[in-house]
Chain A
């Protein structure tokens, strides 16, 4: 195991755990996280039950040109849907290339 294991290098979204609650986006001091979601009705409810919706994550992106790797998003996520990864983020030659789309919008 390398001594750099678990160091501040890359932040990854654990998509199944994300509820699109927007907390990471709002807590980010550099405004580097973008999140789009939409509400979908929950099916299979018994007849007469109140309609329910759940939020579906459509897009999750981190702009690595803005991120300062403070880890506040990881700390604040109530569902542990963000984690540190020991690998480095990808370099890019343009600022657009530094925006990592972790969840893409459905085309």
Chain B
């Protein structure tokens, strides 16, 4: 995997295509929250004449201003992948197709960012909260929480006068399992 700066992205893709890697495989995105405050756009191309050899390019973008050049002029098929990444991760592809691909036009949010909260579930009782052999959820234990639903102390029941929670904190509290108590 070759890491490329955002301003060199288009040139790097064009160079790979000129080098014989002219089969576009896929373009995706990874949320690196918790490790770095970045979204990482990944692109994979293949050279079908050389036993389908692959090259991977990645580009790290700041989460609050994720913006990168479109490559759909180089590989037309990348347009769908870019539209998908744009709506699911909130990455802007400069010069790209801005239409929605999968989500409703009225949908707000970026579902595949890890700090995205499954808000409707915070008010529901998770059937998995019980332990085997238990009729009801017993208080006082380190309870299991479902993935995607954050700790109410971080998101939801939070004191409104406090500043908004840090995205990394929200993402960390919504991984599911048996969370450690938060240190104050």
Contacts and interface: CB of A to CB of B under 8 A. Distances in A.
Given A31-B126, A31-B127, A34-B127, A26 B144 contact: yes
B127 A33 contact: yes
Interface in A33-57: 33-39, 53, 55-56
Contacts of A103: none
B137 to A, nearest CB: 12
Interface of A: 19-22, 25-26, 28, 31, 33-39, 53, 55-56
A20 B127 contact: no
Nearest to A58: B135
A36 B129 CA distance: 11
B133 A53 contact: yes
A23 to B, nearest CB: 9
Given A22-B130, A39-B133, 19 more contacts: A21-B132, A22-B128, A25-B127, A26-B144, A26-B146, A28-B127, A31-B121, A31-B146, A33-B127, A35-B127, A36-B135, A37-B133, A37-B135, A38-B133, A38-B134, A39-B134, A53-B133, A55-B132, A55-B133
12 contacts: A20-B132, A21-B132, A22-B128, A22-B130, A31-B121, A31-B124, A34-B127, A35-B127, A37-B135, A38-B134, A39-B134, A55-B132
B148 to A, nearest CB: 9
B7 interface: no
B8 interface: no
B65 to A, nearest CB: 32
A26 B128 contact: yes
